[in-house]
Amino acid sequence: MTSIKVQKLQKTFQSKRKAEGLSGSVRSLFKPEYSSVEAVNNLSFQMEAGELLGFIGPNGAGKSTTIKMLTGILHPSGGETSVLGFTPWKDREKLAFQIGTVFGQRPQLWYHLPAIDTFTLFGKIYELDDRETKKRIAFLSEAFEMQDLLEIPVRKLSLGQRMRCEVAASLLHRPKLILLDEPSIGLDVVAKQHIRDSIRRMNQEEGVGVLLTSHDAGDLEALCKRVIIVNHGQIVYEDKVSNLKRKYLTTKMVEVRYAEEIAKDFSIKGVEILKVGHYGVKLKFDAAITSVDSVLAHISAAGDIVDITISDPPLEEVIAKIYEQAKEEDNKGK
C-alpha cells in the first residue's frame, strides 16, 4: 500500500534581491527586485506504508520544503501529492491526525513546562481520551527510556534528551507515518544512537512509516532501507541503501595485524599502502579493479595474521561522490 505519492511536485519562492550597501538598500526601497528560486523542481516519488525512507541532500536541496508540502504547511506551486490518501494542503487537519512531524530545528515541546504537560496537551489536541493518553505516555516513556525525564522542565533537558521527548511526542497519537526533518541535528553519537534505536523499534512494533531527512549519512545507514538523494530540488539518486553501497562502495579499507615483524617494503600490485608498521599494515584498494581474493592471498602470504578488519568507506564519501557526479552532469548540460 502506498502512503506517499508525489508527482511533478514544484515549489517556487520569490526572493528579494538587493545590491550591496546603503545605496542598494535605498534603491530596493523604491524599486524592489525579485527573482524566482525553484526550491523543488518536478519531484516525483512514492513511499510504501511502513517503509523507512531516507531523503537526503545538502543545504538548500529542497528536503525541508518537500516535507513542508507533504504535511500541508506549504502550498506547492505545481504538481500533485497524496499522503495517506489526503491532499496535504487541502486536508491539512485530517492528515495531521494521521501523521507525526518532528522538525529538529523547531521544538514542539513547551519550553518552560515538563514534557509530560506537553504530552497531556497533545492528548487533547489529538482528541485522545485521558485514559488512552496516560497509557500511551507510559508506553512511550518506556520505549524511549524517558521515565526520569518527563517531569523535568524541557529547558533543563540536554539536547539529546529533548529530542527523544520530541520524537516520542510526535508518536503520541499512533500516527501511521512520521516525517522527521533532521532529528539528529546537533546530537552526540550516543544520543543519535538512542533516537535511531527508538525509531527503529516503533517501526517494527507499530509499523509506522518513517520519512527521514538528514545531513547525517549515519542516520541513513542505521535506519533506512531505501534512499532518495536530492540536489537543487531534483532527485539525483533513488535506490535501496544496500544497492547504493554495492554500487558505490567498491573501495575497501583493510587493516591487518601480524604475529611477527613484516618487511618494510610491503607492497601489493594495484593496492595503495596507507601505512606500514612493524607488526601491521593499513591499505586501500578498488575491488572493481583488484580482486579481493588476490589481495587477501598476498596479505596472508606476508606472515601469520593475528587480526584483520575490512571496512567500507563512510557513506558521506559515497554521497559526496554522487553529488559531484550530479554537479558534473549539470555543468555538461549547461
Partner 1 sequence: MNNLKFLLAIWKANLQSAMEYRISFLTQMIGMMANNFLYFAIWIIFFDRFKDVRGWGVNDMYVTFGILASAFGLVSLLFGNAFMLSDIISKGRLDYYLSMPKPVLLHAVSSRMIASGMGDFAYGFVSYALSGYLTWDGLARYVLAMLLAATVFAAFLILTQSLAFWFGTMSNFSNLVLNAMLTFGIYPITLFDNYAKIILFTIIPAALMGAIPAEFIRGFTWQSLSQLLIGASGFLGLAIFVFRAGLRRYESGSAIQIEV
Say whether residue 125 binds partner 1 (CB under 8 A).
Answer: yes
- Shortest distance in whole angstroms from residue 172 CB to partner 1: 12
124 binds partner 1 (CB under 8 A): yes
For residue 93, give every residue at least 6 positions away whose Cβ sits within 8 Å of its Cβ, in sequence order, or none.
none
Contact with partner 1 (CB under 8 A) among 4, 51, 68, 315? 68
Residue 122 grid coordinates: 497533545
Of 117 and 316, nearer to partner 1 (C-beta) is 117
Q: Which of 6, 40, 52, 109 binds partner 1 (CB under 8 A)?
A: 109
> Which ranges constitute the DSSP H helices of the chain?
21-30, 63-70, 92-96, 115-125, 130-143, 159-170, 189-206, 217-223, 241-248, 292-301, 315-333
Q: Report if residue 118 touches partner 1, rule: CB under 8 A.
A: yes
Interaction of residue 64 with partner 1, rule CB under 8 A: yes
Phi/psi for 318 (5° steps) reads -65, -45
Residue in 45, 97, 139, 323 binding partner 1, rule: CB under 8 A: 97
Please report whether residue 101 would count as binding partner 1 according to CB under 8 A: yes
Residues 132-191 that bind partner 1 (CB under 8 A): 153, 155
Residue 72, interface with partner 1 (CB under 8 A)? Answer: yes
Residues 6+ apart with CB under 8 A from 139: none
Helix (H) or strand (E) run with residue 214 in it: strand 209-214
Residue 35 engages partner 1 in binding (rule: CB under 8 A): no
Q: Which residue number, 76 or 303, has a Cβ lying nearer to partner 1?
A: 76
CB closer to partner 1 out of 50 and 153: 153
Distance in angstroms (rounded) separating the CA atoms of residues 280 and 297: 16
Q: How many residues bind partner 1 (CB under 8 A)?
A: 35
Q: Phi, psi (5° rounding) for residue 330?
A: -55, -50
Q: Which of 41, 71, 203, 234 binds partner 1 (CB under 8 A)?
A: 71
Q: Do 198 and 164 contact (CB within 8 A), yes or no? A: yes
Identify the DSSP state of 333.
H
Candidate list 7, 46, 77, 108; residue touching partner 1; CB under 8 A: 108
Stretch that binds partner 1, among 100-108, 219-227, 262-270, 284-292 (CB under 8 A): 100-108
- CA dist., res. 75 & res. 257, Å (int): 58
What's the one-letter identity of residue 47? Answer: M
Residue 6 beta carbon to partner 1: minimum distance, rounded to whole angstroms:
18
Greatest CA span in the chain, whole angstroms? 79
Is 58 a binding residue for partner 1 by CB under 8 A? The answer is no
Minimum CB separation of residue 106 from partner 1 in Å reads 5
Beta carbons of 275 and 88 less than 8 angstroms apart: no
Alpha helices in 97-206 (DSSP H): 115-125, 130-143, 159-170, 189-206
Q: How far is the CB of 179 from partner 1 (least distance, A)?
A: 9
Contacting positions for partner 1 (CB under 8 A):
13, 64-65, 68, 71-75, 92-94, 96-97, 101, 103, 105-113, 117-118, 120-121, 124-127, 153, 155
